[in-house]
Every structure is written in structure tokens, then in C-alpha cells.
Structure 1
Amino acid sequence: MEADTAFETLLEYLKDARGFDFTGYKRTSLVRRVRQRMGQVAIDDYADYIDHLQANADEFSELFNTILINVTSFFRDPETWDYLRSVTIPALVGRRKSQAPVRIWCAGCAAGQEAYTLAMAFAEELGAEQFRQRVKIYATDVDEQALTQARQAVYTPGEVESVPGPLLERYFERHNGHFAFRKDLRRSVIFGRNDLVQDAPISRIDLLACRNTLMYFNAETQAKILGRLHFAIAPHGLLVLGKAEMLLSHGRLFEPVDLKRRVFRKAPATPAAIGPPSRPYDPQERRGAVARLDELRQYAFDAGPVAQLVLAEDDVLALANHQARVLFGLSDDDIGRPLRDLEVSYRPVELRAFVEQAKLDGRPVQVKDVTWQRRPEGTTWFEIHIVPLAGTDSGLIGVSVAFNDVTATRLLLDELAHANRQLELAYEELQSTNEELETTNEELQSTVEELETTNEELQSTNEELETINEELQSTNDELQSMNDMLRDRSTELDDANDFLETVLTSLRSGIVVVDLELRVRAWNRAAEELWGLRAEEATGAHLLNLDIGLPVAELRQALRAALADPAFTEVLHLEAINRRGRSIALRVMCGSLRNHDDRVRGAILVMEIRD
């Protein structure tokens, strides 16, 4: 229990410190991943790990990378993508007008492979020109590091193995041994951070891909997210889930199109006629029969045993009885406020989607098994009835929302189910006990025979262990020999590195070495004195991004030539500002860095001050 409380404290800290809300994730897998990261930094206690996070800002990124398993690939689950490309996407495009925009949402996009897969599928169906004009793909995730990689759209050969050859040629460009998605099509894919649990959904979506994302959340959070996704999808829009995800308990929101491939359609709205009472009457005729009728109605509504809200047609809170005000902390100031601005709109359940469904269908909506964790009261179960209210002209004038507290009934049902399970278990145990007694005699007889053979097996095992011990000793000697060799090689490498560092330090010219991506790999002491930037600050940084007095932009063309031609060498004369802020005339020699077989590994800059 103490461990559970400490873990929840850690989750609250992550939410307050970095805005990541993991409280809706399944605890078993979440605890396992957090413990995995804590083991990597040799910390056992959750409180100590919070201290570690406070002292090391970089640890947040490592922890989030461990929790958010950004596993994805191009055309993952090929059978699903074959169905989408051959059936779903042509049907979706065919239903729309020739120039109507197509809005797609890829939720939980990770490093972008699935978003670009959607781009290729729609570009194949519409053609590149129509795709650029009509399609917008919104790709979202909570991991900023993954979104940064997705925006770059550059992937290794291993990451594009699953892309069919013709599509790879049409939609990717080779760049320094990597593959970059076409820049003209990339503009139609918009990446942004969105937390499915907390942030508002994107609206009017024709196709929403949320694959293998819901499975990380518990049932309550899944229901909340699905309500938001239902709100986001346009009428007749489609939802695509992962192979491990189902919507069997959410048939009121989505209906299956192809259950095997996990393709679902937003449940259609079928408004029913909402009419006045069968015998119309004039309320004024009855008003005189009962004294203070309006006051009586107000007190009767306010004294109702069930918490009840009444919303106007534009989803503004019009009425709230005493039970609702106490239960949800409402006051007279909240009357007239939009539902979306009130906490009751999303707690204990996301109400807006159900209210919208009741208004569209024109019939009551019943939401069952709604749980609300209230402290110190504990868990409360509700059954919510949402009823559209029609005026005398059959037009919709508002919506009534009643919260029926079914906690006592739910507890009784749980106790009854628990008692039935105990009776079934007791009966099964009695049956199995009888069978066990009948077999015990046979087992005792066979035990004697097994004990007789055990001694022989132990003797054989002892001989095998002696053989294994000899093999392990031999292996240990080999490992010791290899360790000695590695130690000698390490010493040689250290000597070579010391010698190279001595050479670079001894040179009076500023020496800078960059790799193929123009990231600094060497920065000697003369370069430090020239530009006032230490080697440990420059190493690993992109040369063209360094904020020093060297006009790096004028080196761009020479560097590109040096990276392309092993024999390239060029001398440039530049005006620069040294570390003291003084103007200097600089002579820069730019050449290729190549190995013994003339393969370019980077570029070398030699910088000298001209007299």
C-alpha cells in the first residue's frame, strides 16, 4: 500500500512538473516501465527517484522515452493497410465532392512513420497534385522528442525496409545514406503535441488513425478518450485502431466496418420525432387552478432526490437543483455559463459528446457504469440519463441531464457476484478434492519408484556438472586472455589519442574537423583562443549553428564541396570578429577529410590570421 501511494505521488509530480498526465495509464505496465528506468539509474525508492528528477532535468526525457514506447513502422500490419488502400480510402474519397478537403488525424504518431504512410496512401489515390491541394494530415503525440524526429522526416535504410520499392522511389529522396520524405508532400502533414487525455480534440476529421494507443490506458480513460474521438470525427467518418484494440463495449459511439482490420464508423445520427403531448392545452387555463404554480415547480425541481441539470439549446447551464449544486460544487454564478467551461462537463464523464448525441438522435441517451473517484467519500457509481427537451412547436429547447446514484445497487450486485463466484469455487474444490484423494494412492506408489531413479539421475548430474566446470574454467582462461588483449589495445588507442591531441594543441593555426552532418568532432586550442569557445562546448554542435565571430554562412558552399569531392581543397579570405570583439582578416583553408580508400568522412578547416 505504501508503494502504491509513493508511486501515485511520483505520477502527480510528473503531471505538475512537466504536464504529462500518466494517471490514466494501466498501472501494471506503467509500474514495470518506471521500475525499469529506476533500475538503470540504480534507484529503488520512488521518493529518491523524485529527488533524482529534481536534480537532473535530462532524466525526464529518459523516463518519458521508457514509458512512451514509440514503436512504429511504415505500413505496420500490411493486411490492414491493403484493406485501407483498396477499400476504405477509395470509398472515403469517392463520397466527397471533387474539390472538398480531406481531413485526417493520426493520433499517437510517434516518429511519423504512420502519418507518412497515410500520406503515401492518399497520394496514390488522389495523385500528388490533388493531395497537396485537398489533404491535411494532423499528426499528434505527447512526446516532443519523437515529434522533432517526425518533422525532419529522415529515416535510416532499416526504418524504410517495409516501404514497397515503387513507393520508396516515388516518395523518398536519398540523402547522405538516409531517406527523406518528399518536401512538397511533407507540407500537408502537420505535427503537433496533443495529449488525448487532457487536450481538446481536432474537429471535422474524415479518417482518424489511433492505432495501438488506447491499449496503454485503463478502461475509464479509454471511455473518456473515445468520447473525444467520437466528437472529433465528422458524420460518416472512420476510426482505425490497432490489432490489439477492440470497441465491443462502445457500440453506441462506433459501429464496425471491418472488425478483423479494426475499422469502425462513427455511429450515424437517426433523429426521432419529438412531438408535443397528444392533447394540446393552454397552460394559462391551468395556472389559476393551483396557487403559486411557478414557485411550486421551482421548489419541486430543487428538492428532487436526483442531481439534475438543465441545459439550454446552446449548451448553456439554465438550471441546477440542490443535489447537483452540492454534488458538483455549482453556484448561482454558474447559471448562464457554457457547459464546456464547467468541471461537470468532463467529470465524472465527458458529457458534451453524449449531449450532442441526444440532440442529434432526438431521443434519450443512457450512460451506465460511470465511476467517480471522490475523496474521502470513495468511489461513486452513476447512471446518467440525458433527455432532449422539446417545445410545443416540436423544436429542441434544451437538454435535461440527471445523475442517478446507483452506488448501493452496484455494491450489492458486486457482492452477489462475489458470493456466486465463491459458491462455484467451493463446488469445484469439493469435486477436485474427491478426485485428488482417488489419485493420491497411485501417486504414493509411483513415488517410491521415482525416488529409486532419482539417485541415479543425481549421480549422472554430478558428472555433467564436473564436465561443465572444466569447460567454464577453459572459457574463463580464454576470456582472461581476450581481456588482456583488449587492455593492450585500449592502451594503444589512448596513446594514439594523446599523440593526436598533442599535435592539434601544438599547431598555432585554428583547426576544426566536422563530420558528414557538419557536426564538430575536433576543436583545437588555437580555435579556442581565436573564437573564445571551449572544445567541450563546440564538440557535437552543428558548425553552421555556432554563434561565433566566424562568418560560417560563407563557408557553406566550400564545406558542401569538400564533403562531395575527396580531392577538394579551397582557400578563402574572410573578415571575422575574434573573441575579443576585434575585426581580423582570416585565411581559411577548407579540405576533405578522407580515409585510406578516399572515402569522405568529413571536412577540415585550417584558420590563420593574415598580417
Structure 2
Amino acid sequence: MVNTKNQLVSPSSEKPTEVDQKSKRVFPIVGIGASAGGLEAFEDFFRHCDPDIGLAFVLVPHLDPSHVSMLTEILQRSTKMPVIEAQDQTKVEANRVYIIPPNREMAIIHGKLQLSVPTVSHGQRMPIDGFLRSLAEDQNENAIGIILSGTGSDGTLGLRAVYGAGGNCFVQEPATAKYDGMPTSAIKAGYVTKVLPVANMPEALQAGANSFNILSEINTETKKTHGVSHILMQLRTITGHDFSLYKQSTVIRRIERRMLKHDITDIEIYARYLKEFPAEAHILFKELLINVTSFFRDTEAFLVLENDVLPQLCLNKSDEDNFRVWVPGCASGEEAYSIAILLSELMDKTQQNFKVQIYASDLDDDAIATARAGLYPINISQDLTPERLRRFFTKEITGYKVKKEIRDMVVFAIQNVIKDPPFTKLDLLSCRNLMIYLGAELQNRLMPTFHYALKPNGVLMVSPSEGIGSFTSLFSPISRKWKIYRAIHNLSSPTSRFNIPTKVPTTNDSKTPEKAIKQPMENSLAEISRRLLMQYFAPASVFTDLKGNILYVHGDTGKYLRPAQGQASLNVIEMAREGMEIQLRAAIHSASIENKPTLNHEMQVKTNGGFTTVSLSVRQVNYGSADKQAFLLVSFQDVVTPSNQTKRKVSSKPEELKRLEELENDLLYLKENHQVLIEEQQATNEELKSANEELQSTNEEMQSSNEELETSKEELQSINEELITVNSELQTKMDQLSEMQSDMKNLLESTDIGIVFLDEHLMIRSFTREAVRIYRLVPSDIGRPLSDIRSISDQADNLIEAAKNVLDSLIPFETELHVLNNWILVRIQPYRTTDNFINGVVLTFTDITARIKSATTQEALDLAEGIVNTVREPLIVLDAKMNVISINTAFETSFQVSREDAIGRKIYQLGNFQWDIPALRKLLEELLITSDSIDDYVVHHDFPGIGHKTIRIKARRLVTKMIETQLILLSFEIN
């Protein structure tokens, strides 16, 4: 029977939980776990990830619980997707990144993140396993698990859950990981879809998401027609197991995962690939088995089993009774061992000692081999209490091993529950998370089988997502929430006539009704005869193990055995009466070691003050069929002396009588010495036993100390991982701050603005190089009061008082200073920290000389323009380079020159160079060099198109008050 132990399946497991409202599609949720070295892996992952990939990402790194995480801020630089620190009840949306906060455990239920305070000690936390298991439970086939760089094994069980739920699992290539512990652990466990470098994972996720969206729109029957049925036929041919009656959605999802493994997108191509490579069929068969389970899965269900169900089932169990349990589809055995632990605890609590027989079966031989070994990874500590770990498990290097006392309770077997006969006369049948993957036909076949296997009032336990279907007449509910039922047996039950399949061949011979009635009667007479013969003719006997410990007593053995003095014992040698110990010990040794029987050995045994001749027989017998176990059958029988036997008269000489007396005395002495030696040997054995117990106690103490050291080591390792993560975050932050500092330095230096930072006491914090234009500052002045520094201008001395006023009133101050022919704009503002705290003042010095000159020049131009426009005579304004700045209307009219052609040109170039007059050049050069004005300078010149003109010129050189900007004003009087 295919095992479908899907990890953490909830009642709503077959329903989609996350729907994109725009596309109305279910989108996968990706859980990413990392530890040491994970920051670099996260950044590399999201640098290569498309922001519109259509997936949601939840990051679970190992964080220091006492340190504020900067991971959100750091990762936001690597992706355009919003990076959010998760909060309780946050609804997961596509194309977003969520990060677990420090000192929190996180799960996901119905698509919402659930945060809680950790309940386990720091070093034993497995946050990645916890989240991935909840993700598998909540999202099932839409879950994706990724394990990146880190130490330890956190995440391995989480991937096991995701893989069992039908999701995909990706692991970073160990060679590319900074720390390969977590990736290597996951790969060795075997629950991995692909092993890739981090940079290649987004592409693989994108391909998987596209395949998911396409396949989710195709009808299941269409898929089946196009290849699924072909694949199932090949599986049946190659492996001998038929999956056609299993839920097609589950089968298809597992097939798709194998297709993704081989980068195959067409199901028909995969069908041909399966035919060409039969080994792939066996791998697919293993995938369909889904060997995933855990200890005490669904804790509340096991609490009901522990507190309500098992105490009632075991209430009247005697030491000779058997408690029978069957766990079909047991996977790797965790559920069977969980029930064994509960029964062991119950027997200790109630002081009962009944026999427990737990049969755990599965179709997967590898899973059965794992279950028989009973060795599980370290991570199971999150499913078991520390007390149960200590009591029922042994800590080993690779994990925890179930102790022999629990392993002996469980028998594991390979079985197909659909075809093979069931185990019967059961007190408890636990079949959890198996039938949800079976079709309705198989479920209807299993329920009557389970009912037949249970005793009257036996208990059936299934998972919360399963039920008994329409078979309500066969079972009555004990717990409807956790799907625990009691079997109802009566004559009207269908299983009273139920035929259980069997592999024993049958014949076509039919018995007559008379033979059918006669056969039970013959069996009864044979049983009565056997018992009577045993009672009246069989010798008194005991059934023992190879060491002589009595297991069963037949007949009256009081004449041969009696309770020994001291601590109660059931060892037949210690209970033997006087005269029998030596020969009995030798006979048992011969039978157990050499397999040599002792038959009818006569000896004198002291009974009731006299001696009786007893015949002793000791044989070795074997019981069982598979691994035959050896036992001893010890029989006692009196030897009867005929009453008519004539006693021989012994006539002995006195010397012979004396010799016989001496021999008898010697024999008695030897017997006494031998008895003393036996007692001394027994005392020595007791001392050795006591010493062995003390050594065992010391060993347990050393083991306990070793476990404490291992726990301390795990805690230190966890702290070290968190410190590495914090160190990576701080290193990244330092790199960012260094870049920001370089950027700020270049920014301040490129602005040519002098800046002085002062603290609340007006002490110099720092300054830019442009600040030395106002204050004579050197690097060693940092930390000194600004008032101690001499300024270049006396006007700057008042800035100290202004800075004090700004610090007191928080009102910015602004002024202009004229320093060394330069104009400086001074601003004083409060220094505010990022949390709006006033921590000093900032003085900035901006050179505004160019702005002042520009303003002054514009002022002069405006003045000249006004003058020019109000004068009636022709007028022109030139700069020092003889370029025309302005002309008036009279000049345009008189000399036929347009304003557009004149502005910006030299005066000598106006009107096709008609103003290139030597006398005018001489006038202007003289004006610039020797005087500020020239009056009535007469020029005679022939102007083309105007004629000969006599012009009287007046010239003035203008200088502004603020800056020496020279302008020349020319007026013309035409005669």
C-alpha cells in the first residue's frame, strides 16, 4: 500500500489558501532559510530575481534575539520588491518579501503569518524547520522550500515536510555556500528537487511558476488522457503496484515534480522518458509513497489518545494479556514509536505489565529499514519533550536512537494494505493521513477491512482531514474533532460476513453442512483429550529461558521447588530443593550451551525431612518460525521403589563400617564446603551485580553530562551563527556608511560652500575646506571653541553671538559679509539629528560675489536703458569692449540702424562698417585711458545712404558704486 504520510496536513489541505485577486490564481509561497553566510546568499538571490515573478517570499534567517535586525534595510537595496519585517496576522501577498523579526517564531495559517515568542531555549530553536512545516501544512503543493548557506541541520525536516506535501525543494550548491552545513544536511536527507547555485534559483523558480500556472488551468482528465494513464500503466508493469485508483491530483503533482527535476515540460515526453529509463519508474514510485511523518503529529490528537482512549482500552489488562496495535502506512516509524512511548508511560503510571505488540507496516522497504534502525536526526527534539528524549532515546553523534525497550514493542513489516491480509484482533488501529490520497473506491474497500481487524470496542484513529465516510454503522465516534472512533460489532455488521483476502491458496473442494458442523466438534474433543492427558499423565514441569528463569509452570512442582531465602527469584536453580542444585545446574548448562539434553537422571532430593528419588529431564526447545527462540523444558518425576523388594542384608566388618562412616563424613564435609562455595559465589555475583548497577548509574550520569555538554555546544553554535549574521549585517552597514561618507565628502567639496559644525557648547565638530575663507581653521582645531579661532573679517566676530541666539531660539539666522572684495552669504541653522534632537548649530558660508556682480550689472543696464529711452538726441551705450549694449529710437531713425542688428555688436561694425571712423576710435580710446568725459568732439564723415554729416559727439564713462563696471554713453548732435 502506498504510504502517504504527508507532513502536517490540515483539514483544509485540499483547498487553496492564497489567491491573487487580479489573476484569481493560487500563487506559490517560497520559504527561504539560512544561517551563517546567509546575508550574502539573500542578496545574490534577489539581485537575480524578477520583481514581477508572481511568488511570495518569506525569509527565516537565524537572528540574534537581542539585536535589532537591519536585514530589511539591507535587502531592500537588492530588489525592487517591497521588503517587509513580518508582523502578526500579516497576509502574504505575491511579489513581496517578508522577514522574520528577531526573537520570534513564525508560522503561516490560512495565508497569514503568525508570530509567537519562542518557548524553547536559545540553542535548541529550529525556526526554519518550524516555519517550513507550517508552510507545508498550509500550502501543500503550493509550498516551496529553499535552504541556503548555514551551519547545522535546521531546515532538513522542514524540507521533508514540503517535499512530502508535494511542493518543490531547492538547496544551494554546497561548493558555492559560505557555510555548507545546512545544504549538505538537506541533500543527504534526500528531500531535494534541485541543487543549484543561488544565482540560478530565481530562473528555476520562474520556470516552475510558469509551469504551475499553465498546468493549473488544464483539466485533470485532459492531462490523464495525454499521458498520466500511460505513466501509471508503466509503473504497474515495472514495479507491480497500481496507482490508478489514487487521487489523480496528487499523482499528477508528483509527476510534475519529476518533470521539473529533468527539465521536461511535456507529459508525453516524460512518459517516453520513463519507458526508456526504467530506473526513473522506481524513483517515481518512491516519490508517490511520500514517506513523511513525525513524532506525536497533531499533538492534541495524541493528548486525547493518551488521556482518554488508552486508559480505557488498558483498564482491565492483566500481565498475561496482549495489547495489539496496527499502524498501516507507518513510513519511517515515528507514529508507531509515539504510540509505544504512550503505552510505556501508561504502564509505568498504572503499574501494569501487559504485553504490547505493535505492528507497523508500509510498502516502502527503505522506509521500513529506517524505522527498524530507529535513528532519527537531531531536529526531532522540537517534536518531543526533554523528558521523553532523555527517557526513550539515546543521544548519538548523528542524532537520537530509540531505546531497545521501545524498539522491542514494535514489529515492522512490508505490506500492501490493499492486497495483503490485515493484522487482526487489534485493540488500536492508527491510520493517519493515508486515505486522503486514495480514491473513493479504495477508501470504501479499506474501511470494512479496518473494522474486521479490530476487536469489539477496538479504536480506529485517522487524521483530522480524513473520516469513515458512509460506514457510520461500523464505528461510533469518540472524538469527532480528532477523528477517533470505536468499532461496533454485531450480527448485522457487514464485516460479520466479511472475507479477508489472503495469499494462502484455496481449493475448489466444498464441505457438506455435516462436515462443517462435525469439524468444530472434533477440534473440541481433541482439545479436551489433550488437556486431560496433560493433567493426569504429564510430569510436573517448568518452562524456562536459557538462564533458568521460569516462564511457565505445569503441574505440582512444590515437591521439587520452593521459594529461596532472600530477595524473591524465579530462577529454577535457586528454587531447587536440597540435593538437586548441582545436577540441575549441570543439566541446564549442558542443554543451553551444548544443546545436549539430560533425560531421566535420578537423584536423591530432600523432601519433608527425608530423601526421595527423583528423575530429572532437561531439554532445549525452539519456538517461532522466523528467528527461532530457544527455551528449556525442565521435568520432574518421582521414581517409585517396588514394595516387595527384599532388602539386602549387609554384613560388614567393623573396619568396613568405619571406612564407610569416614567416607560419609568426608562426603558430608564436601557437600557443606560446596554449599559454602555456592553461597560465596552467589554473594560474589550479588556484589558484581551491585557494582554493575553502580557502573551503569555512573554511565548514565556521564551520558547525562555529555548531553548537557552537547546542549551547551548547540547553544554556542547557535549563538555563533547569530553573531556571524549580525556581523554580516554590521559589515554591510559599515560599507554603506563608508559609501555615504564618501558621497557626502564629495558633495560638500563640490559645492564650494564653507561649513562649520558646532556642538551645543559651540565647540568645533568638523568643517569643510571652504570654511577657511572666513576662519583660519586647521584639523587640530576640532574640539576647540569657535570663539578661540580668529576670523579673517571683523564682521565675522558677531557670528558667535548669532550662533548662541540660534541655539537658544531655534530660529535660523542669515546675513551677508563683504570680505576681501568678495561677498559671502552666512546662514546659521540648528543641527538636528535623525530623531529630531537639537545637537548644536551649522554655519554655512556661500560665495555670492558673482550674484552681486550680476545684480549690479543688471542695475547699471536698467539705468542706462532708462536714460537712453528718455533722450531725444541719438544715443548709444557701449561696454568697455566697445560692444553695443543699447541704442535709442532717435539713433535708429537718424542712422538707419535697427536695434536687433546693433545689440551685441561692436560699434565699428554697425551699418556695414560705416561707423569704423578713425576719429571715433581715437575718441573712445582717449576716453577709456585719460578722462571720464569728452564734450563737443566734432566728426565729419560720409555715411552711405545718408550722405556727408558733421556730428558733434559727447561721451561719458560710467562706473557703478558696487563694482567697477565701465559703460560708455555716447550722444550725437547732427548738423
TM-score bin (small chain): 0.3 to 0.5
TM-score (norm 2): 0.27
Greater radius of gyration (CA): 2
Report the structure, 1 or 2, having the larger helix content: 1
